[in-house]
């Protein structure tokens, strides 16, 4: 009968494991693993922390049953001689039936939380530790060998799920990213602006589109060579990512021209952002990234939805016309708009 119960438990875990391994969304996969681990052990709390060997840090990626105060420290550096360090070095399951008797358990935060017993299972994929599964209880208790065995089986599938989800995310990112600048590619831009148009129309909101063009880039290439030109575009992409807001979306539109979508931003606000911060940030960031060896200036054309167009084609054309007009007139600010902005709306730098 005991063997039958064990086989039933293993079969139940394997059934759950199939769902975990097929889940390509990392957050969902980890949530499934944690729920099953807590069900198997009948514990009231648990977490999965992912390990970054480059920085020797752990970050809680899934959790349940802990207070907000406990979760405020979701990331920590592995402390030499501590519990996490012990697990990483031994690569073995660690069972603590009573935290007060464990000399290596000195996590004051967990102690304040009231954790009295726990099981820690390293998540290993291809000899590398990718994280740790923790199941915790607020009472002292003994975890049976069969329960620990069940957690080890679940952890092995969890490791595969983490690898699969990360690989899927990396491939998806690669498919959507321009390899040179690190910004979204043209195909992804068309998808993003399509979604932004639908969202803006549905909620009656405005948004702006800016085209950023490098001044005299052909001369730069001729003077320094195409290899330097590629390096310049890579630095430009990074400087754009650093200069824009977290809500803005930047893409390589073509050649040395980049497109930036600014959600919830009308024409005047977009102009002020570029005039007072973003354009300077792009040019200064580029100079810094190239060690001051090169300097590039950019010209920007801005248009906004819905006054300048209700589809992607019209918005791009409006922004492009504003950019070309600014280049032709050689404005000192090098920022052109599809329409005149009242002086009262312009914020001086």
Active site residues: 256
Residue indicated by tokens 């998540």:
123
CB 48 within 8 A of CB 162: no
Residue 258, SS3 per DSSP: strand
Cβ burial, residue 251 (10 Å; 0-12/13-18/19+): buried
Question: How many residues does this entry show for the chain?
Answer: 349
| Residue 342, C-beta contacts closer than 8 angstroms, at least 6 positions apart | 268
Q: Is the dihedral of CA 306, 308, 310, 313 positive or negative?
A: negative
Which residue, 131, 87, 83, 143, is CA-closest to 109?
83
Q: What does DSSP say about strands 45-52 and 128-137: parallel, antiparallel, or unpaired?
A: antiparallel
């Amino acid at each position: 009968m005991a063997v039958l119960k064990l086989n039933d438990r293993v079969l139940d875990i394997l059934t759950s494991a199939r769902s975990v391994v097929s889940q390509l969304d990392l957050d969902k996969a980890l949530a499934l693993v944690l729920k099953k681990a807590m069900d198997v052990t009948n514990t009231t709390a648990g977490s999965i922390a992912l390990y970054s060997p480059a920085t020797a840090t752990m970050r809680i990626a899934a959790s349940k049953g802990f207070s907000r105060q406990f979760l405020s420290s979701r990331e920590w550096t592995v402390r030499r001689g501590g519990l996490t360090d012990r697990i990483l070095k031994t690569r073995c399951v660690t069972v603590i039936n009573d935290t007060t008797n464990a000399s290596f358990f000195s996590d004051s935060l967990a102690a304040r939380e009231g954790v009295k017993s726990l099981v820690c299972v390293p998540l290993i994929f291809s000899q590398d530790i990718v994280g740790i599964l923790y199941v915790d209880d607020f009472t002292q208790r003994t975890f049976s060998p069969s329960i620990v065995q069940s957690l080890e089986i679940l952890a092995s599938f969890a490791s595969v799920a983490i690898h699969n989800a990360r690989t899927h995310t990396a491939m998806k990112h690669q498919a959507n990213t321009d390899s040179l600048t690190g910004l979204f590619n043209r195909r992804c831009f068309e998808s993003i602006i399509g979604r932004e148009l639908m969202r803006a129309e549905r909620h009656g909101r405005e948004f702006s589109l800016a085209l950023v063009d490098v001044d005299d880039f052909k001369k730069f290439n001729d003077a320094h060579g195409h290899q330097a030109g590629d390096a310049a575009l890579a630095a430009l992409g990074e400087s754009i990512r650093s200069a824009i807001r977290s809500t803005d979306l930047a893409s390589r539109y073509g050649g040395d021209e980049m497109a930036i979508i600014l959600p919830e931003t009308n024409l005047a606000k977009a102009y002020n952002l570029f005039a007072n911060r973003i354009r300077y940030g792009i040019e200064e960031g580029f100079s810094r990234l190239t060690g001051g060896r090169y300097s590039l200036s950019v010209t920007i054309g801005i248009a906004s939805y819905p006054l300048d167009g209700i589809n992607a084609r019209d918005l791009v054309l409006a922004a492009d016309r504003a950019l070309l007009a600014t280049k032709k007139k050689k404005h000192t600010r090098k920022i052109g708009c599809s329409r005149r902005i009242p002086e009262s709306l312009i914020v001086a730098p």
